[in-house]
């Protein structure tokens, strides 16, 4: 998940402070890794939950002022740096903590998926959406029937985009909607297949988007058992088929034989075909749909040609040469009369733009460039020196590379931070734990990181020379 910019900025600030030697030795690698990912614009669900809990635990530290002056260059408190690394600005922790808390709640208590949604739009109208497989997610028609009681006598707009589902669940919904006192109008937004097409017959008028589909077929079932069990299932399916054909017959006025033939053939209908057959009453404009609906998907050359078609349609006509049209497969032949081309009337050419000449002293420009270049080199070298001293890194090669490439200090910092400071370590005998002692030579003190120097002084340490 991509966190907000203020969390990304805080994590980057924490890594920068860490690279400069602040933050202490108590920070775990897990915290540093999480900060690096946050700084790059990515945070996992696990880290969101941990950040929420961490921020709550350490809020008292900020409130008590234990980590004051987190941007103090002399000594940012270790807790303040840790807050930055967790994406929480210690100077203004509220927004980040609120975001982590909200996302953590969603992750730990996700809303239960459902195949329907019922909303009272006003005192007079309600909307019912069936946009999934009926009976999926372990939610039965009973939940639907219980919730639709809250609609009262409002007029229902039933919107359908479903591949079908459980027959008996669907029949219960169909019967309930047919009896609804406020009336039901149906809008097929994408697909009404199988049992969803039966439910669509519960209202009037039935409207289909011009690019929607409707499908009717015979019910099916699975059986494990002996021959008697199989015959019993077959008999039951025949009876169920009669219930379904009745719904189609009432809507279309077709005979049982006509509907039966369509179901036997598993008939798919476009909006126009459905209206011609009496399954729908009106056709509306095309609705934007994804390339896949349920288990139906555009695949292979069909999907690729649709993408190419979109490219052509979205390109202005005057800038679309004929050779940019999608290539037609060899198996298909289209005969198109040659278009009549009329040359455009001659236009008066626009006057040339006014030319503005800028002059400058070449020596002055060279001098300014030299100053800027010297400053860039000095900035990179100085920052690299702080980091190398704090972490015992050898940054000679990256410094040389970045200076030679003309890249900025900000780019150099980003490179060092995002690469986890994986530079070649220096061989040194310096014992950084010496900061916990009472005395130390000035030479040894100068070899310590800024953090350990501060710790040594805060603990009352004294230099021996």
In CATH, what number is assigned to the domain containing residue 264?
A: 3.90.226.10
Task: Supply the pTM of this predicted model.
Answer: 0.45
pLDDT greater at residue 393 or residue 116 = 116
Q: Which two tokens stand for residue 155?
A: 């007029």
Answer yes or no: is 352 within a domain.
Answer: no
Place of tokens 């006057």: 351
Report residue 173 CA to chain centroid gap: 34
Confidence bin at 398 (pLDDT 50/70/90):
confident
Q: Is residue 352 pLDDT above 70, yes or no?
A: no
Are residues 71 and 220 both part of a single domain? no
pLDDT at 343: 42
Q: Is residue 464 pLDDT above 80, yes or no?
A: no
Are residues 126 and 98 both part of a single domain? no
Confidence bin at 453 (pLDDT 50/70/90):
low
Q: How far apart are CA 168 and CA 3, in angstroms?
A: 45
Are residues 30 and 103 both part of a single domain? yes
pLDDT one-digit tens code per residue, 237-282:
888 888 899 999 999 999 999 999 999 999 999 999 999 999 999 9
The 8 Å CB, 24+ separation contacts for 411-420 are 412/380, 412/383, 412/384, 413/16, 413/19, 413/383, 416/19, 416/384, 416/387, 417/12, 417/15, 417/16, 417/19, 417/36, 417/39, 418/36, 418/39, 418/40, 420/32, 420/36
Are residues 120 and 213 both part of a single domain? yes
Q: Is 40 a catalytic residue?
A: no
Q: Is residue 143 pLDDT above 80, yes or no?
A: yes
Number of domains in the chain: 4
- Identified catalytic residue from 83, 180, 217, 391: 217
Range of the domain at 200: 116-292
Q: Is 194 a catalytic residue?
A: yes
Q: How far apart are CA 265 and CA 11, in angstroms?
A: 61
Answer yes or no: is 407 within a domain.
Answer: yes
- Identified catalytic residue from 162, 194, 197, 454: 194
Q: Is residue 127 pLDDT above 70, yes or no?
A: yes
* Rg (the chain; Cα; Å): 36
pLDDT greater at residue 22 or residue 187 = 187
pLDDT one-digit tens code per residue, 195-236:
999 999 999 999 999 999 999 999 887 777 788 888 888 888
């Amino acid at each position: 998940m991509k966190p907000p910019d203020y969390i990304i900025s805080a994590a980057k600030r924490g890594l920068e402070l860490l690279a400069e030697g602040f933050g202490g030795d108590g920070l775990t690698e897990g915290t540093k890794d999480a900060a690096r990912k946050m700084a790059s614009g990515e945070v996992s669900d696990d880290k969101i939950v941990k950040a929420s809990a961490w921020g709550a635990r350490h809020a008292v530290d900020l409130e008590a002022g234990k980590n004051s002056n987190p941007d103090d260059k002399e000594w940012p408190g270790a807790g303040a740096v840790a807050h930055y690394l967790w994406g929480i600005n210690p100077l203004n922790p509220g927004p980040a903590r609120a975001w982590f808390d909200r996302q953590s709640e969603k992750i730990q208590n996700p809303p239960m998926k459902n195949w329907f949604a019922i909303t009272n739009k006003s005192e007079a109208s309600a909307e019912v959406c069936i946009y999934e497989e009926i009976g999926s997610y372990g939610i039965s028609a009973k939940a639907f029937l219980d919730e639709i009681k809250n609609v009262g006598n409002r007029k229902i707009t039933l919107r359908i985009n479903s591949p079908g589902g459980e027959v008996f669940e669907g029949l219960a919904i169909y019967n309930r909607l047919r009896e609804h006192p406020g009336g039901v109008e149906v809008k097929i937004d994408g697909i009404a297949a199988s049992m969803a097409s039966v439910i669509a017959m519960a209202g009037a008028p039935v409207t289909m988007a011009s690019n929607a589909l409707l499908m009717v077929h015979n019910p099916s079932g699975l059986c494990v058992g002996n021959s008697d069990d199989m015959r019993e299932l077959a008999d039951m399916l025949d009876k169920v088929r009669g219930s379904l054909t009745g719904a189609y017959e009432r809507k279309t006025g077709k005979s049982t034989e006509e509907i039966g033939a369509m179901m036997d053939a598993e008939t798919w209908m476009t909006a126009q075909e459905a209206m011609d057959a009496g399954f729908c009453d009106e056709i509306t404009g095309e609705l934007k749909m994804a390339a896949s609906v349920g288990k139906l998907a555009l695949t292979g050359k069909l999907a690729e040609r649709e993408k190419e078609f979109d490219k052509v349609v979205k390109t202005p006509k005057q800038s679309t040469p004929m050779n940019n049209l999608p290539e037609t497969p060899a198996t298909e032949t289209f005969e198109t009369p040659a278009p009549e081309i009329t040359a455009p009337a001659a236009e008066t050419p626009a006057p040339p733009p006014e030319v503005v000449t800028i002059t400058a002293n070449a020596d002055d420009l060279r001098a300014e460039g030299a100053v800027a270049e010297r400053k860039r080199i000095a900035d990179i070298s100085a920052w690299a020196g702080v980091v190398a001293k704090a972490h015992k890194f050898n940054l000679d090669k990256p410094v040389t590379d970045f200076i030679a490439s003309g890249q900025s200090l900000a780019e150099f910092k980003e490179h060092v931070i995002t690469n986890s400071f994986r530079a070649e370590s220096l061989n040194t005998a310096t014992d950084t734990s010496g900061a916990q002692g009472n005395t130390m030579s000035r030479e040894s003190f100068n070899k310590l990181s800024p953090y350990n120097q501060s710790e040594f002084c805060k603990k009352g340490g004294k230099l021996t020379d």
